[in-house]
Structure 1
Amino acid sequence: MSIVLTIANNKGGVGKTLVTLAIASTITWLQKNEPSLLPNTMRKLPILVVDTDPQANTTEALGIDPVEVPVNILELYENPSVIETTSGLSLLQASPKQKNIVVVPSSIKLESISNTLPSQIDGRTRLKDAIDRVKEYYSLVIIDTPPSLGIFTQNAVVAADTILIPLTLTKHALLGVSNMLTFLVTAKKSQNPNLNVLGLLVNAYDKRYRLQTTLLKAIQKEYGIFSFETIIPTSSRMVENIAARRNLLHNIAADHRSILVDLLKELFRRVDKPVSFHKG
């Protein structure tokens, strides 16, 4: 059965879209070029990317116009069973730019239910209800989330088997991490006891800047092995690929591609052998 991976951080600008695309793109690139590096269950089945952020950046990066798409995640939240119906199949949009990635597109109108959904008895489980109906058809389900701890992130955490927390190295890099971890501890106790928090993933790292190197060392000291060993470097080619709706690994430097493959390997290891949070 497919793993459901949620990418979450209540702070904005930390690279959630980049990390979502990095994982999905690396899997599909390996499916085409080096399938032997993937588990058997991931070598053919597509990736399902679920965009729960009303900004819809991931939806757009995968080549889908969130305004023009006929059906989107709003319908799924309103009726989780719609995903099993003939009309509901239009929720699942094959990325026109990236082979073997299927998308549940977000909507700028998603905020219209942000005040009413929490009051519903099943308001925090609707995303899980929908994903559970289809996840067996995918090698991995990745949920991208908005920069908040609101109802859409709550749904994504309840639906998840695993959580990955991305970070970028700014002077405010650690702000919000403590709140995020507290939120996840509470969610694990009260709503999702099997939740596995994989750790913190630094991305967009530029070693030319002393401040970034200093912050990286501080994070590694503060969070120890809870911080991923793999670090995604900054890359103008990756940024260009996102803008052009291409696979993130398209024509990037060989060492950067190797880093993304290493990230996937480390992610698999952490799924198999969870790392408990501790400082230092």
Structure 2
Amino acid sequence: MGKIVSFSNQKGGVGKTTTCVNMAAYIASSGKKVLLLDIDPQGNATTGLGFSKSSLKKSVYNVLIDDEEKASDNILHTEVETLDLLPSNIDLAGAEVELVYKRNREKILKNKLAEVKNNYDYIFIDCPPSLGLLTINALAAADSVIIPIQSEYYALEGLSQLMNSITLVKQHLNSALDVDGVVLTMYDSRSLIAKQIAEEIRKFFTRRVFEIVVPRNVRLVEASSYGKPIMLHDPKCAGARAYKALTQEYLNRETKK
């Protein structure tokens, strides 16, 4: 049975999608089967894996809104052999309004994923940078959460709101939900502020913070624009080495549970 992990932070521009895409790719390259589910209307994970949002006739939107639509009928195969994608497109932008009128609306995604959960070792969900119904669906469906946080001055802004949302989901929708870890992204070792923020985050989350930090790296931005995970774009760059090591640290933690 696959483990479902939501990548969430309601603050945008924190490296959430980059972390989700690249960890998924490295886990898949280790021989495990991974499904990446893009529920962000911006669809950056979809384009980051080489698909054009505008050319997709169906997406996760159809799965969420249409009671008869199966997740398995909307899955795409990516360039990484054992990495699949359930894509986003622009239609998803209106999904939260439409979901309001549905019964059991917070658990629609969980119910739809039940059909494919056993086909994968991991299902990674790239959440929108908000705490609306799409993110609530992702948290209700997930076994755990990974929180990417950029190593910058406003990093902790809104973090208490995210943790409060996770607590509410645990209380009312998904008692098993846990925080797997916190990833420090866009880290600049030359910056005193970055070091101070990293210290604060490690104090706040203690052992949940991954030891490996992801540096600010232009190759990561390039890889996204070319529609490739960093392991296919420039596997020797600093960003690739960091995500490979981060993924290994994550898998090592998993084996100890």
Query: Scaled by the length of structure 2, what TM-score is found?
Result: 0.91
Quick one: which amino acid aligns to residue 93 of structure 1?
L
Choose from 117, 123, 128 the match for 1:135: 117
Choose from 164, 171, 177 the match for 2:153: 171
> 2:140 maps to what in 1?
158
* Alignment of structure 1 residues 218-233 onto 2, 5 Å: 218-233=200-215
Choose from 60, 80, 85 the match for 1:73: 60
Quick one: which amino acid aligns to residue 59 of structure 2?
N
Contact 1:9–1:148 under 8 Å retained in 2? yes
Contact 2:5–2:144 under 8 Å retained in 1? yes
In structure 2, C-alpha distance between the alignment counterparts of 1:256 and 1:170, rounded to whole Å: 17
* Alignment of structure 1 residues 223-262 onto 2, 5 Å: 223-250=205-232, 251-253=234-236, 256-262=239-245
In structure 2, C-alpha distance between the alignment counterparts of 1:270 and 1:193, rounded to whole Å: 21
Contact 1:81–1:130 under 8 Å retained in 2? no
SS of the counterpart of 2:124? strand
TM-superposed CA distance for 1:65, in Å, is 1.0
TM-superposed CA distance for 1:147, in Å, is 0.6
Identity of aligned residues (%): 27
Contact 1:206–1:234 under 8 Å retained in 2? yes
- For residues 220-276 of structure 1, the C-alpha deviation after alignment (integer angstroms, 9 at most, x for no partner) is 2233223222211222222222221223123333765443333223323444667xx
Pair 1:175–1:273, CA change in 2 (3 A): farther
Contact 1:7–1:144 under 8 Å retained in 2? yes
Quick one: which amino acid aligns to residue 4 of structure 1?
I
SS of the counterpart of 1:125? helix
Quick one: which amino acid aligns to residue 15 of structure 2?
G
Please, which runs of 5 or more residues in structure 2 have no aligned partner?
none
In structure 2, C-alpha distance between the alignment counterparts of 1:65 and 1:20, rounded to whole Å: 18
Please, which runs of 5 or more residues in structure 1 have no aligned partner?
32-41, 275-280
- For residues 174-199 of structure 1, the C-alpha deviation after alignment (integer angstroms, 9 at most, x for no partner) is 00111101110111111001112112
In structure 1, C-alpha distance between the alignment counterparts of 2:105 and 2:66, rounded to whole Å: 11
| Count of residues in correspondence between the two structures | 256
In structure 2, C-alpha distance between the alignment counterparts of 1:258 and 1:234, rounded to whole Å: 12
Quick one: which amino acid aligns to residue 265 of structure 1?
Q
TM-superposed CA distance for 1:24, in Å, is 1.1
SS of the counterpart of 1:199? strand
Say if 2:178 is the partner of 1:196: yes
In structure 2, C-alpha distance between the alignment counterparts of 1:62 and 1:140, rounded to whole Å: 17
In structure 2, C-alpha distance between the alignment counterparts of 1:206 and 1:62, rounded to whole Å: 26
Contact 2:185–2:216 under 8 Å retained in 1? yes
Pair 1:162–1:208, CA change in 2 (3 A): same
* Alignment of structure 1 residues 71-150 onto 2, 5 Å: 71-83=58-70, 89=73, 91-95=74-78, 97-150=79-132
Contact 2:48–2:229 under 8 Å retained in 1? no
